[in-house]
Amino acid sequence: MYTSIVVDDEKHCLEMMRRMEDEYEKKNEQFFVDVLRSEPSLVLRVHAVTILAELGGELAVPTLSDVVLHDPDPLVRHEAGFTLGQMGLASGVPALEEAVRHDKEAIVRHESAAALGSIGNQSARATLEAALKDEDELVRNSAATSLFNLKFLRTYSVGATAKERMPRP
């Protein structure tokens, strides 16, 4: 089921988008967590999720985990899965594994499988192996790619966490 409310109140959404820019500059992670918990508009929830990919730390993981598992819109769940992968925190793994195993939408299962590979936690191996039998080819390919990444990391690891492996300028 997709969200029926893309923009609930245009004036409000425009003002919130402007506020998001201000709060981003302040690095106010809590503001974006609050948006995810309180705003019905798809456009605001997607924007908040994508900003948390850059700002987010452990504070955001419980909210993003809830979003990836329970948001009514698969696009928002997909973006939350992507964000958890980009954040690279192992605390996001349980929700991503649950989404890979049980989300009814292939786009969410695919992105959650890809995110597990980005995080690189070896504990996700069994979930990814099971996803190789998913009915959707995109999910199977994401699982295979992530399993290859886990193998690479096990063989040539350059850091214990995804954040430690990130290229530095």
Lowest mean pLDDT among 13-27, 122-136, 146-160: 146-160
**Residue 1, pLDDT above cutoff 60:** no
The structure's pTM equals 0.85
- pLDDT tens digit sequence for 7-16: 778 999 999 9
Please report whether residue 162 resides in a domain: no
Tell whether 145 is covered by a domain: yes
> Residue 48 belongs to a domain with what CATH number?
1.25.10.10
Q: Give percent of the chain above pLDDT 70.
A: 90
**Number of folded domains that form the chain:** 1
The reply to whether 168 falls in a domain is no
- What is the tens place of the pLDDT at every residue in 137-158? 999 999 999 999 999 988 887 6
Q: How far apart are CA 150 and CA 10, in angstroms?
A: 44
Range of the domain at 56: 10-157
